[in-house]
Every structure is written in C-alpha cells, then in structure tokens.
C-alpha cells in the first residue's frame, strides 16, 4: 500500500485534503482498517490531520467529526496495553532512535551530542514505548535515573556519574522519572504516559528488587503565566480560612515581574516559603472543568500520584523559566 509508505512524508496540505475527501467516502472504514493493519503509526498521523481539519474549517462538519471519533476508537483498539512493550535505549541503540528521542525532547532540551551521551550513560534508565509490530517507530520516551534519594534539583541528577564502567547499585533504592516526551502526533487521547510509567516501574522492580521508591522530578509549565495573570488577585484566594497572601505582600512579590529570568529564580529561592505556598495552591486548587489547570499536575494526579514536595530552585536553567525555577516531586 503505497499510501501507507509515503503518507507521513506528504505535504500537510495534501494530507488535509485527503482527510476531507475521506469524509465524503461512505466506505472509509475499510480504508482505515487497511491502514491500521499496515502501519498503526500512520493511523495516528491521520487522526492528527483530522484534528487539524476540524480546527481550521468553519461551521459544523458531522462526517469529519465522525471520522475523528472513529480514528480515536481505532487507535484505542490498536494501542491497547497488551500490544505495547518497552524497549531500553542506550548509547549503543540504533542511531535513528537516539536521534529521534533527542530531537523531540520536550522537557529538558538536549544541548549537544555529549549531553545526549550523558543522558544515556551509567545509572540512567531510558525506555521507549513501541507497538509490537513497529519497534522501529517509538511512541513515547521516558528518562529515569537510579539514585539513593529522591532528587531535589536538576543538578543533583546531573551530578550522578554517567561514565562508570561498572555500576555500583548496592545502595540505590530510588528511581527518578525526570522527563517524558511523546514521539508521535495524533495520540493525545491515548494514555501512553501512564502505560510506559507502569511498564518501566514493573521492569525495574523485577531487575532491581532493592528499588522500592519511585518518584518524579517534574516541571510546572503553567505556573509563571498563571502567577503573572493572577498576582493581584492572590489576596482573595482563601486556603484553610486564611488568605493565600496578604495585600501588603502583593506589591513586594510583583517585583519579580521586572527581573530577568535568572534573577526571578533567585528571587523565588530567597522567598521560598511564600512561593511554595502559592505554587501548592496553583497545583491543587486551580482547576478548569474540574481538573488541575497545570497539565503535568493533571497527568500525575489523575493517575494516582500524590504531590510530595515542591522545590524552589529545583531547575535553575533556562528550561525552568516557565515556573521561575520551581519543580515538584510526585510519588
């Protein structure tokens, strides 16, 4: 089926045109089934393009909506947990896999090939989730690291030796998940994140029985924007019958808005108590449609994790800018 072979490389405009034509074909189910059998990853691209069409067209298009719903259901069937498996990634893995996970890293962008090699070094446990029929097309990647404590900063993760010839695992009882990134489009409604975490945790327990603690080192991508938009309303927020902050605090805290990003992070560290309190409120109380406003918090909390610790100064690099350098551990 030439279509399956070349679809992902076709121009976006051509792919969207095909989706629109597909919506006019009463027998499109047969076409979708054939694509699903040949290459499920192309099926995910089809749905991504259907989403794009729905967002770009004006008016109501029931048939287009029906195709999107059908594609989601088909993807849910194809990407069931039993059809998926984890594959470890090391510096010796195929270059195409290493290059893909590095180029699509969404949490902590890679800086060089030396940085990539360090992330795949000793004590690191990097895994991708693949469909059993398409092991060369990873769906999502998760970065983990074995430590003897729950990481409180990005620097503590980076300080773990990456070039040990022999790993000393005797005292390492903790696995830290510190980055997770999707590698395919069109799968946003498929719970790949929870699937890969569950499978990796199970594998680690089997391989290293002494590891009994699993935690994340997570970003808070929406906190800075929310804080800037709501700082003057914070005194009206009530927690345990008390104001989140006093009126007098707002004028002082607003100084952070005039600082460059690195000085903002230091300002937060210097006033960690009040920013920890505000951040906890944001993560636990600020909701949209009944779910946490912060996407990362929503992902972890809905999957049964608990907010364990807030870490002002946890990530003092540019990648921590969106939360003033604050990170969090979920367990």
User: Ramachandran region of residue 162, left (φ > 0), alpha (ψ -120 to 50) or beta?
Assistant: alpha
Cα–Cα distances in angstroms (integers) from residue 284 to residues 146, 156, 191, 302, in the given order:
28, 26, 22, 12
Tell me which of 44, 102, 215, 218 is the catalytic residue: 218
Report the C-alpha gap between 192 and 214 in whole angstroms.
18
The conformation of residue 116, written as its DSSP 8-state character, comes to H
Report the C-alpha gap between 142 and 140 in whole angstroms.
7
Active site (annotated) includes residue 276 = no
Q: Any residues with CB less than 8 A from the CB of 196 and at least 6 apart, and which?
A: 86, 127, 128, 129, 140, 142, 180
Q: Any residues with CB less than 8 A from the CB of 141 and at least 6 apart, and which?
A: 89, 101, 104, 105, 126, 127, 128, 129, 179, 180, 181, 183
Tell me which of 23, 215, 300, 323 is the catalytic residue: 300
Active site (annotated) includes residue 198 = no
- Evaluate whether 87 touches 138 at the Cβ level (below 8 Å): yes
- Active site amino acids: 218, 300
């Amino acid at each position: 089926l030439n279509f399956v072979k070349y679809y992902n490389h076709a121009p976006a405009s051509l792919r969207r045109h095909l989706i629109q034509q597909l919506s006019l074909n009463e027998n499109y189910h047969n076409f979708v089934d054939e694509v699903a059998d040949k290459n499920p990853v192309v099926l995910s691209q089809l749905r991504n393009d259907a989403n794009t069409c729905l967002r770009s067209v004006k008016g109501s298009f029931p048939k287009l909506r029906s195709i999107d719903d059908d594609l989601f259901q088909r993807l849910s069937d194809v990407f069931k947990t039993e059809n998926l498996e984890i594959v470890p990634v090391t510096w010796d893995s195929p270059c195409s896999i290493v290059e893909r996970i590095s180029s699509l890293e969404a949490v902590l962008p890679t800086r060089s090939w030396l940085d990539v090699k360090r992330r795949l070094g000793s004590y690191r446990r990097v895994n991708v989730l693949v469909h059993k029929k398409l092991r060369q097309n990873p769906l999502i990647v998760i970065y983990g690291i074995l430590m003897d404590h729950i990481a409180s900063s990005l620097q503590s993760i980076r300080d773990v030796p990456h070039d040990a010839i022999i790993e000393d695992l005797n005292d390492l009882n903790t696995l830290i998940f510190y980055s997770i990134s999707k590698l395919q489009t069109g799968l946003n409604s498929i719970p790949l994140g929870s699937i890969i975490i569950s499978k990796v945790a199970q594998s680690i327990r089997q391989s290293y029985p002494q590891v009994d603690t699993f935690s994340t080192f997570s970003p808070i991508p929406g906190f800075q924007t929310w804080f800037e938009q709501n700082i003057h309303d914070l005194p009206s927020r009530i927690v345990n019958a008390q104001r989140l902050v006093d009126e007098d605090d707002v004028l002082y805290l607003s100084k952070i808005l005039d600082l460059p990003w690195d000085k903002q992070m230091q300002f937060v560290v210097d006033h960690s108590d009040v920013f920890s309190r505000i951040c906890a409120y944001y993560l636990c109380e600020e909701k949209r449609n009944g779910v946490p406003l912060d996407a990362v918090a929503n992902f972890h909390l809905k999957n049964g994790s608990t907010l364990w610790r807030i870490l002002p100064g946890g990530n003092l690099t540019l990648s921590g800018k969106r939360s003033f350098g604050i990170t969090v551990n979920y367990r």
